[in-house]
Structure 1
Amino acid sequence: MAVPSIRFKDVPKEDRPRERLLKAGPGHLSNQEILAILIGSGTKEESVMSVANRVLMHFEGLKLLRDATIEELVSIKGIGTAKGLLILSAIELGKRMSEYKAEDRYVIRSPDDGADYIMEEMRNLTQEHFVVLFLNTKNQIIHRQTIFIGSLNASIVHPREVYREAVKRSAASIIVAHNHPSGDPTPSQEDIHVTRRLAESGKMIGIDLLDHLIIGDRKFVSLKEKGYV
């Protein structure tokens, strides 16, 4: 007499794949358990774990499953089109993640590099925009954010707002920039005051202000080169 398949409802709740995933994390699940979660349910005759095991046996493990087709999957008892497509989608997502390469990040080596990065975007703006570039330890830009729009004023450009985002992004340093809609990038006393305030605050928390760029029409001024940073 054949031994009846263990019904899924008879498996202790704490030993079921989804519960184990929540409790222990995906790294502690077997291939069979992960596949069972994708399949979702078994048949009247056998549990989802049994179906998952038969899928793995059919493909001799994960290596051949990687190149499975929908026709192969639906030929297995307990795997219909919907479940087959879900498995194929998970396989494809895994392939794409393994092949993913982070795009090359823009590196700031000089004030010209920073100005080139934002010049075309900022030189024709009709209002002043205060922008922060967040850099990693290799001086690569990891994030860009407009902090505010309007005339530069020390009471508005508060270091707290600038460095809060820097801490959130784990930035090693920052470059700030704003445009002069007049096209003339000559720094004002307010520009210099804001720069010094940001530089002092950055030193206190260990995130360097590398430069403050003022963008004009196809020209710029680096306050670092002027000695204000």
Structure 2
Amino acid sequence: MDGLITLGLKGLPADSRPREKLLSRGPGALSDGELLALLLNTGIPGKNVLQLAQELLDRFGGINGLLHTGADALRQIKGLGPAKRGKVLAVLELARRALAQKLEQKTLFDSPQAVRDYLQLQLGNKEHEVFAVLFLDSQNRLIALEELFRGTLSQASVYPREIVLRALHQHAAAVVLAHNHPSGVAEASHADVALTRTLKSALALVDVRVLDHFIVTRHGAISMAEQGLV
């Protein structure tokens, strides 16, 4: 029993306990590993919670990589049971909702980095290609994000008529298009450019503007509008 207790936060030396450090010095004083250790709470046999937290960060490339990791990848980690996975996924969902709320309250392009972060959280960790649409009101505030089409790792079939119908249903004045590149290559292909033009023409018939098209990977998102491709 004593050996198991030392695997958790209580088994660490007093000056190494993240909770006490957070309460006395504030969250900014904690390292990424210490913050994650607070979330995980306990380690596994042979590895205390700080070691487990650091192993996760190293494996996924830091906090950003971990937050963009899906449930399937987390399930492969030895010692990361349902309770620990649930906590990590809950934090990820809170981050998504916080960004969504920010985009709902402000004009979308007042916070361009928030748009990128939101799309990366939504699409960046998917192993198959997904085409999504952000529907916006007349003040360019977010109404909803919908994942409309899924494909293989190399392509997705996108139907302009369905996007037009969803835009009308959402009473959207404008849209931002987005899809992920599971390959990690963050650049627009000729097919991406052609699709954007097709959708722009189709949506123009119902007075809905296409403001941008983002290409999303695990490591970031690029704007086709910034590249003069929309």
The two structures have a TM-score, normalised by structure 2, of: 0.51
Report how many residues are paired.
126
CA distance in 1, matches of 2:105, 2:118: 8
1:188 correspondence with 2:189: yes
Partner amino acid, structure 1, of 2:173: A
User: Once the two structures are aligned, what percentage of the paired residues are identical?
Assistant: 34
What is the CA-CA distance between 1:121 and the residue it aligns to? 2.4
Partner residue, 2:17: none
Superposed CA RMSD: 2.0
What is the CA-CA distance between 1:205 and the residue it aligns to? 1.6
Instruction: Could you tell me which runs of 5 or more consecutive residues in structure 1 were left unpaired when the two chains were aligned.
Output: 1-102
The two structures have a TM-score, normalised by structure 1, of: 0.51
Does the CA-based 8 Å contact 1:125-1:181 persist in structure 2?
A: yes
When you count helix as a share of all residues, which structure comes out higher? 2
Q: Which has the larger displacement, 208-217 or 103-112?
A: 103-112
Partner residue, 2:151: 150
Change (3 A) 1:118 1:197: same
Partner residue, 2:222: 221
Does the CA-based 8 Å contact 1:134-1:142 persist in structure 2?
A: yes
1:20-70 deviations in Å (ceiling 9; x for gaps): xxxxxxxxxxxxxxxxxxxxxxxxxxxxxxxxxxxxxxxxxxxxxxxxxxx
Partner amino acid, structure 1, of 2:148: I
Does the CA-based 8 Å contact 1:133-1:144 persist in structure 2?
A: yes
Partner residue, 1:210: 211
Q: How does 1:102-113 map to 2 (within 5 A)?
A: 105-107=104-106, 108-109=108-109, 111-113=112-114
Q: How does 1:7-86 map to 2 (within 5 A)?
A: none
CA distance in 2, matches of 1:153, 1:202: 22
Change (3 A) 1:178 1:167: same
Instruction: Could you tell me which runs of 5 or more consecutive residues in structure 2 were left unpaired when the two chains were aligned.
Output: 1-100
Q: Counterpart of 1:132 in 2: which secondary structure?
A: strand
Q: Rg: which structure is higher?
A: 1
What is the CA-CA distance between 1:146 and the residue it aligns to? 0.6
Does the CA-based 8 Å contact 2:119-2:221 persist in structure 1?
A: no
1:134 correspondence with 2:135: yes
CA distance in 2, matches of 1:138, 1:215: 24
CA distance in 2, matches of 1:122, 1:111: 17
